[in-house]
Amino acid sequence: MQTDGGGLYAYLATPYDASGDVDTGVLREYVRAILDAGVTGVTCIASTCEGPYLNDRERNLVADTVGKAVGGRARLNVGVGALSTRQVIENAQRARDAGATSLMLEMQQYFPVTFEAAYEHYAAVARAVDLPIRLYNLTLPTRFDFTPERVAQMATIASIHSVKEASGDVTRVRDIRSLCGQRYKVHCGFHFQALDGFRHGAAGWEVMLHPLIAGLCVDLHKELSADPWSVRSEEKYRRLEPLFYFFKQCGVPQSIKAMSGWTGLKLGRPRAPYGELPPEGQARLRQILNELHVL
């Protein structure tokens, strides 16, 4: 089993055509452009990728399309989260068959789930599919929190190689490292937390990208990986900080899809009931991108 070495993973927005169907042609073009920017890997069908809004046929279509487009050039992390363990195992098997090199798994719940049940959920997936698992702590939509202490308890599941920490509390990167040492590669889960995340010991960064900003984020990641305390790291982060905080305030998928409308790579609208970025938000986003000289 290949281990996770950290790095920069680009979440892929799911592109839709004018009818609202998954646009596989645009998706292939999107993958190629992101890989050309120099990312470590790509992630599809996860939270910000609008994974929960896809039906089973669409999930398979996206995974197969991205797997073929990646073609071994980079790592492929595929979101497999679902409400039931049976569903997750089926998703994981299809992800494996599509060429996934790792599985992204958050603890979705409808009825409340105990930590003991969550542990067995992950253990069952690990037994069923021999791929590295990235434990995704996505507290707001899932209403389940893998605290650093719980992450430490999950360490006995050997297939969990990495953690994406997206609780909103960036100091948890430090706490996981303190409790677990080098057991996991910890990935920072937000654009705006990149600088602090690496200063707290993150080994990876996993966020949605568009080709317009991918090169700038790759450059920032290289500096952060080399020395997050350096002047160059600080300067490169501060340059992008207005954009990152715009994403925080206005929503990443809406923003990425809005910026795609100003390029040849049209990603379409977010899937209803997810709303589009309003006109005033689009105006501010365009101003920020002009100031970055990417439009």
| Distance in angstroms (rounded) separating the CA atoms of residues 184 and 180 | 7
- Produce one character per residue of 234-262: b if its CB has 16 or more CB atoms within 10 Å, e if not: eebbeebeebbebbeebbbbbbbbbbbeb
Section 101-116 average pLDDT: 97
- C-alpha count within 13 angstroms, C-beta hemisphere, residue 210: 26
Give the CA radius of gyration of the chain.
Answer: 18
Range name among 1-15, 56-70, 233-247 with the lowest pLDDT average: 1-15
* Under 8 Å between Cβ of 31 and 66: yes
pLDDT tens per residue, range 20-61 = 999 999 999 999 999 999 999 999 999 999 999 999 999 999
Domains identified in the chain and CATH numbers: 7-230 (3.20.20.70)
What local confidence, expressed as pLDDT, does residue 1 receive? 58
Query: What pLDDT band is residue 3 in, cutting at 50, 70 and 90?
Result: low
User: Which pLDDT does position 53 carry in this prediction?
Assistant: 96
Amino acid at 76: L
- Residue 2 has a pLDDT of 60
Confidence of residue 5 (pLDDT cuts 50, 70, 90): confident
